[in-house]
């Protein structure tokens, strides 16, 4: 085998053989295939696609590059969830303890934010003492004793994906559906969960801007999970407007705790409960009511135990940014649009996200919303508050918000987007 012949096959719209796929993934992981060669192959895949057999073999080769976890010793069925990323998407934080409170074990391997989309680990690291890096033994212990764990994937889990993801991010090939699907599913299958629910975001704040692309990605991932014996379901959910009222690390943790306490924004609660029901059904748990577990405090109890088990203090004060800037409405009327992408970029520019994986983030930075589409606003009323430790970033963040919302005359009828757009199983 050689890299050039593999690249030429896909460049010329041919189908890669199983042997070619196995070799190129293994050789790239070992360093025999150079970054520039894998970059060329990734671009050929972006432009010419892969069929289901190629994607399945590519995913299997990524899984085979590392270890596979085993949760068979647990007394509960396992269920996991993955979101393709959005703005204000803090759903994992209340969801994992909620599903655990209903009887499933939730081994949630999460990632960090990059660009305008937030990362679950960055959010949780705003809690004093909390740590994302656990050994496999520590992860299993937390899962066994609390019912849920949220942590970083270890270096031994699909190392080929870790290397390829970093390359895709700097070569303009992140959007390739075969590579997105195999990246997500290789980690989730290697993780060893028995069932998986996918939250595939659609809209301006998501990687998938239109529902056709989102449906293709969801169908591909559901097929991959099914082929590998993992019961997999996908929900397509709206990401044209930010979820909840916050985008930023500590801001989103605070809002998640409100949800666990029985309050919080209605859209966050609705999606959390909808995903919880899907996860419980996929795990074979039919008699639990996640809405009740939110209301009676049992999900909050699991949250507190889970945070403490990973070194965090669930009672500690969360970081607050030193500087604030209030953005007000220029006119009165009905807020009819609030662009998720604009808000996400603003939060990123304020310091809540990173441009490169090694960049630090500000725990208190982000955007706090005071109105959502459908709300009536008056001229001079605060629409949002920007938070940062570095006030020189305000002007840069404000540029991303230019044209990010529409206000129609008072009395204008408004029909909200449904949160759940479709279900694929």
Residues annotated as catalytic (active site), given as ranges:
82, 161, 168, 183, 187
Given CA atoms 380, 385, 388, 389 in this order, what sign does their dihedral have? positive
Three-class SS string for the chain? CCHHHHHHHHHCCCCCCHHHHHHHHHHHHHCCCCHHHHHHHHHHHHHHCCCHHHHHHHHHHHHHCCCCCCCCCCCCCECEEEECCCCCCCCHHHHHHHHHHCCCEEEEEECCCECCECCHHHHHCCCCCCCCCCCHHHHHHHHHHHCEEEEECCCCCCHHHHHHHHHHHCCCCCCCHHHHHHHHHHHHHHHCCCEEEEEEEECCCCCCCCHHHHHHHHHHHHHHHHHCCCEEEEEEEECCCCCCCEEEHHHHHHHHHHHHCCCCCHHHHHHHHHHHHHHHHHCCCCCCCHHHHHHCCHHHHHHHHHHHHCCCCCCCCCCCCCEEEEEECCCCEEEEEECHHHHHHHHHHHHHCCCCCCCCCCCCCEEEECCCCCCEECCCCEEEEEEECCHHHHHHHHHHCCCCEEEECCCCCCCCCCCEEEEEC
Question: Comparing C-alpha atoms, which of 245, 266, 242, 241 is closest to residue 255?
Answer: 245
User: 268 with 307: CB under 8 angstroms?
Assistant: no
User: 230 with 78: CB under 8 angstroms?
Assistant: no
Give 241: exposed, middle or buried? Use CB within 10 Å, 0-12, 13-18, 19+.
buried
How far apart are the C-alpha atoms of 81 and 110, rounded to whole Å?
10
| CA distance from start to end of the chain | 37
How far apart are the C-alpha atoms of 128 and 150, rounded to whole Å?
16
């Amino acid at each position: 085998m050689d890299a050039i012949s593999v690249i030429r096959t896909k460049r010329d719209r041919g189908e890669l053989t199983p042997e070619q796929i196995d070799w190129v993934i293994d050789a790239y992981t070992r360093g025999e295939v150079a970054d520039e060669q894998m970059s060329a192959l990734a671009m050929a895949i972006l432009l010419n696609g892969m069929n289901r057999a190629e994607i399945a073999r590519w995913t299997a080769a990524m899984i085979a590059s590392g270890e596979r976890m085993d949760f068979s010793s647990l007394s509960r069925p396992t269920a996991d969830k993955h979101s393709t990323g959005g703005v204000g998407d803090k759903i994992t934080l209340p969801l994992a303890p909620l599903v655990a409170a209903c009887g499933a074990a939730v081994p949630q391997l999460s990632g960090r934010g990059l660009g305008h989309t937030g990362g679950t680990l960055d959010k949780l690291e705003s809690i004093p003492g909390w740590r994302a890096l656990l050994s496999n033994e520590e992860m299993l212990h937390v899962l066994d004793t609390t019912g849920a764990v949220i942590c970083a994937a270890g270096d031994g889990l699909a190392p080929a994906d870790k290397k390829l993801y970093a390359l895709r991010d700097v070569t303009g090939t992140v959007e390739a559906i075969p590579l997105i699907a195999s990246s997500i599913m290789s980690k989730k299958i290697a993780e060893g969960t028995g069932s998986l629910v996918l939250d595939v975001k659609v809209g301006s704040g998501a990687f998938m801007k239109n529902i056709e692309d989102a449906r293709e990605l969801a169908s591909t991932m559901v097929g991959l999970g099914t082929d590998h014996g993992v019961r997999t379901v996908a929900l397509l959910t709206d990401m044209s407007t930010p979820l909840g009222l916050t985008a930023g690390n500590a801001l989103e943790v605070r809002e998640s705790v409100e949800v666990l306490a029985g309050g919080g924004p209605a859209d966050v609660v609705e999606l959390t409960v909808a995903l919880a029901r899907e996860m419980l059904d996929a795990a074979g748990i039919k008699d639990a009511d996640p809405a009740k577990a939110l209301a009676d405090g049992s999900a909050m109890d699991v949250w507190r135990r889970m945070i403490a088990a990973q070194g965090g203090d669930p009672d500690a004060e969360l970081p607050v940014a030193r500087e604030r800037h209030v953005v007000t409405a220029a006119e009165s009327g009905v807020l009819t649009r609030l662009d998720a992408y604009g808000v996400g970029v603003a939060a990123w520019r304020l310091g809540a996200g990173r441009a490169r994986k090694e960049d630090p983030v500000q725990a208190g930075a982000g955007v706090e919303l005071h109105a959502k589409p459908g709300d009536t606003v008056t001229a001079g009323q605060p629409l949002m508050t920007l938070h940062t430790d570095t006030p020189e970033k305000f002007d840069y963040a404000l540029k991303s918000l230019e044209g990010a919302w529409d206000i129609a005359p008072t009395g204008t009828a408004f029909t909200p987007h449904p949160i759940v757009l479709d279900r694929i199983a």
